[in-house]
């Protein structure tokens, strides 16, 4: 039976069984709780388990309360207790909480961080994830960065990526920092700051030097080939003995109706 949101009392055949039930109800790890044995007999044990007041626990409480006020039914878990603390939200139909390219999730995370760090001298960073969206987005950003880097190497021309969040830009820089023939830099101002993928100096100069110079086209000539084969206006055609307009044909005799022999 729960006495408050941070403390539960449970029973079990043994102390360990009772503690396990309490941990499941609190959704907490054993190292983050204090355990008090209230009663223990051969048949049953009763314990009181209380969550320690930690930054990660408070963060989970803030996230859960905000979701409740937003009318979103979901479970909130502490994914990582060390800095930065990571909170994962699980549930159905949470796409609305993620938003387009995670914009709504980023805004939600900003609000939670402001609430948690209000009045604190030691400001800490909290990362909020929804159904492992960040892991999936990270893989997508890596694949896109590698694909665009290959294009830059082939064409020798820079590519500008779409505006990204700071952690996504960092993924691009880390992914491509050891890729040969290219370099990256962030350009622009928030919220439109983006990553530019450019050929490095050596690669760009080498590609320019290796680019073949096209051979000059041969002059057009009536005696040549191709377009130059076409006769100019007024020239006698070079095929057969066809006379020009107005000239008599060979063997033509007047008075015979223009008949040829």
Q: How far apart are CA 175 and CA 170, in angstroms?
A: 8
Does pLDDT of 19 surpass 50?
yes
Residues 127 and 157 placed together within one structural domain of the fold: no
Rg (CA), the chain: 40
**pLDDT reported for residue 183:** 94
**pLDDT reported for residue 142:** 94
Residues 125 and 140 placed together within one structural domain of the fold: no
Residues 23 and 72 placed together within one structural domain of the fold: no
Task: Report yes or no on 173 lying in a domain.
Answer: yes
Domain count across the chain: 3
Burial track 193-211 (b if 16+ CB lie within 10 A, e otherwise) = eebbbbbeeebbeebeeee
pLDDT digits (tens, 9 = 90+) for 85-114: 889 999 888 888 988 878 899 899 999 999
Residues 64 and 107 placed together within one structural domain of the fold: yes
Task: Report yes or no on 218 lying in a domain.
Answer: no
Task: Report yes or no on 259 lying in a domain.
Answer: no
pLDDT digits (tens, 9 = 90+) for 189-221: 987 899 999 998 744 444 444 455 555 655 555
Per DSSP, the three-state class of 247 is coil
Residue 84 has which token pair? 């930065």
**pLDDT reported for residue 155:** 93
Mean pLDDT over 238-261 rounds to: 55
Residues 91 and 59 placed together within one structural domain of the fold: yes
Task: Report yes or no on 78 lying in a domain.
Answer: yes
Its domain, for residue 18, covers: 2-51
Task: Report yes or no on 181 lying in a domain.
Answer: yes
* CATH number reported for the structural domain that contains residue 115 in this entry: 3.30.300.20
pLDDT digits (tens, 9 = 90+) for 121-172: 777 888 899 988 888 889 999 999 999 999 999 999 999 999 888 888 999 9
Residues 70 and 104 placed together within one structural domain of the fold: yes
pTM, whole model, 2 decimals?
Answer: 0.51
Phi first, then psi: give them for residue 9, nearest 5 degrees.
Answer: -120, 130
**pLDDT reported for residue 64:** 92
**pLDDT reported for residue 8:** 86
Is-contact 78 87, C-beta < 8 A? Answer: yes
Residues 167 and 182 placed together within one structural domain of the fold: yes
Q: What is the DSSP string of 152-211?
A: HHHH---EEPPP--HHHHHHHHHHHTT-TTEEEEEES-TTS-EEEEEE-HHHHHHHHHHS
Task: Report yes or no on 240 lying in a domain.
Answer: no
- The DSSP letter of residue 120 is -
Is-contact 124 116, C-beta < 8 A? Answer: yes
Task: Report yes or no on 220 lying in a domain.
Answer: no
Mean pLDDT over 53-80 rounds to: 88
């Amino acid at each position: 039976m729960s006495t408050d949101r941070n403390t539960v009392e449970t029973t079990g055949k043994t102390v360990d069984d009772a503690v396990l039930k309490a941990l499941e109800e609190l959704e907490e790890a054993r190292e983050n709780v204090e355990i008090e044995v209230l009663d223990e007999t051969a048949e049953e044990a009763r314990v009181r388990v209380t969550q320690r007041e930690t930054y990660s626990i408070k963060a989970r409480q803030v996230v859960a309360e905000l979701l409740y006020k937003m009318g979103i039914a979901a479970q909130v878990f502490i994914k990582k207790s060390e800095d930065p603390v990571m909170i994962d939200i699980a549930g159905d139909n949470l796409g609305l909480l993620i938003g387009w390219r995670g914009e709504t999730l980023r805004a939600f995370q900003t609000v939670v961080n402001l609430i948690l760090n209000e009045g604190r001298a030691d400001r800490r960073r909290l990362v909020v994830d929804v159904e492992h969206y960040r892991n999936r987005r990270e893989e997508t950003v890596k694949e896109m960065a590698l694909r665009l880097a290959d294009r830059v190497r082939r064409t020798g021309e820079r590519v500008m990526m779409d505006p990204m969040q700071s952690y996504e830009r960092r993924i691009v820089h880390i992914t491509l920092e050891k890729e040969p023939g290219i370099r990256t830099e962030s350009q622009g101002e928030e919220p439109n700051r983006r990553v530019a993928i450019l050929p490095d100096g050596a690669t760009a100069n080498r590609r320019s030097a290796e680019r073949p110079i096209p051979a000059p086209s041969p002059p057009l000539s009536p005696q040549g080939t191709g377009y130059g084969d076409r006769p100019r206006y007024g020239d006698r055609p070079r095929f057969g003995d066809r006379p020009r307009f107005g000239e008599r044909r060979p063997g033509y005799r007047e008075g015979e109706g223009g008949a040829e022999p």
